[in-house]
Structure formats: structure tokens, C-alpha cells
A and B are shown apart, each in its own frame.
Chain A
Amino acid sequence: DAGVTQSPTHLIKTRGQQVTLRCSPKSGHDTVSWYQQALGQGPQFIFQYYEEEERQRGNFPDRFSGHQFPNYSSELNVNALLLGDSALYLCASSLALSTDTQYFGPGTRLTVL
């Protein structure tokens, strides 16, 4: 049984560009959450998707957007990249009725130059 997978593993972009990160949830899970982990800090909640809709959102600007597909996989899009967007982006999947148990993927390391 595959766990949560994310792609790509690493990504280098320049300021002003746009990026798309992808996440496939653990088999059977229907809810996907995204977190940003800056270097030396704890993860910060970006948003959560369920039934293809954004259910929760953290304190992130509108440059951060997402999407969930019918197969429950998800994308995180970031527009107009800033140097401060450099971080490890973590995807977590769970069941809608038990979001207390979130399984994390290995993350995508984004570097903005």
C-alpha cells in the first residue's frame, strides 16, 4: 500500500515564476492538506481540500491556490514566487471523518532564486 507521494522532490525557480506541486494521498484517503515548512521552523498550514473544494485555509496570500481532483490527488500552485517562498512543502492525507490522523508525504523542496 503506497503512502502519500509528492512530486517533484526538488524544484528550483526564479522570482516571479509560477510553480505547481503535486500530491497523491494514501489509498482510501479523501482529504488533502498542504503545509509549508521554512528552514528551521515548524510546518505552517496552507489549506485543506475535501470533495474537490477548499475546506480550510491558513494565513497565506491568494498567490497560493490549490486543486483537488476526483481521484483525491491534489495540486498546490504558487504564483509570482518570492524568495520567502523557499521551503519544504508537505502534503498530508487523511479521512474526512478522522482528520486527527494525517499521514505526511516526503515533501517537495522548493528553492526560489
Chain B
Amino acid sequence: AQSVTQLDSQVPVFEEAPVELRCNYSSSVSVYLFWYVQYPNQGLQLLLKYLSGSTLVKSINGFEAEFNKSQTSFHLRKPSVHISDTAEYFCAVMVDSPGMIGTTDSWGKLQFGAGTQVVVTP
């Protein structure tokens, strides 16, 4: 089984300041990692994902996340936030293959953390 821990339930930050959202995961098999964003009264939007290759992944709107296998972390960062970044951010994992023994029933299923509410103020 997999689990995801988002260490901060709420992160207040001033506009143009940097922000880091922490995510740690637990899994006995290889996983894909994701960050989703949810604006008020909306569904989830994929922000970025790590499948393989370079451990640093970036989104088009300035966010980046780094996969750290030894620390089982996938922290999200942005060097300068905007008011419009106010939202809830969810870290998620998914087993990376349907073919591994014991993982077939987990493939294709996103396992989410509890979320981190980012509030950006002027």
C-alpha cells in the first residue's frame, strides 16, 4: 500500500515571496508522483508530475518539484508567488506499473495527501 503525507495543512505567504510545500510518501514499489492544484469550487488540475528521468520537474507557471528517492519526498516550490496562486495543493502517488506482483490492484489509482492550503496575501 502507498501513503502520502503533506506536512503542512496551511501555508500563509506574502505576494512575491517564495513558497515550499512539503510532501513525503511511503511505498514498497516504484511510484509516479504528482502535484495537483484545486482552486475554490473547482476540480483538480494537474500541476506537474514525475514519471522518470530528471528528478526536477517544472510547470509552465513557475512551480517546480524535485523527486528525492532516498528521502521519499517530492516537495513543491515556487520562487515568487502571485495572489492567483491561492489554492489548495495536493500531492499524489500512483504505482508505476501494473505488472508487478502485489501491485496490480493499485495501478491507475491516485493516492492523495490531505492537501496544503496556500493563502497568498499582498
Decide if A and B are genuine partners.
yes
Interface residues of A (CB under 8 A from B): 4, 31, 33, 35, 40-45, 48, 55-56, 58, 90, 92, 94, 99-107
Count of inter-chain pairs, beta carbons less than 8 A: 61
Q: Which 7 pairs from chain A and chain B are nearest by CB?
A: A42-B112, A99-B108, A104-B43, A104-B44, A106-B43, A45-B109, A42-B114
- Separation in Å of the B111 CB from the closest CB of chain A? 7
Residue among A41, A42, A44 with the most chain B CB within 10 A? A42
Contact B109 A56 (CB under 8 A): yes
Chain A proximity mask over B28-61: 1 for CB below 8 Å, otherwise 0: 0000100010000011111001010000000000
Q: Is the CB of B108 within 8 A of A55?
A: yes
In the bound complex, what is the Cα–Cα distance between A31 and B109 (angstroms)? 12
Q: How far is the CB of B26 from chain A (nearest CB, A)?
A: 15
Distance of B82 from chain A, by nearest CB (Å): 23
Q: Decide: B49 and A33 in contact? CB cutoff 8 A.
A: no
Cβ-defined contact, A105 with B109, below 8 A? no
Residues of B within 8 A of A43 (CB): 44, 90, 110, 112
Number of interface residues of B (CB under 8 A): 25
| A104 to B114 Cα, complex, angstroms | 17
- Cα A33 to Cα B107 in complex, Å, equals 12
CB atoms of A45 and B43 under 8 A apart:
no
- Supposing A90-B43, A90-B44 touch, asked if A99 and B107 sit within 8 A by C-beta, the answer is yes
Bound-complex Cα distance A106 to B4 (A): 23
A41 in contact with B109 (CB, 8 Å): no
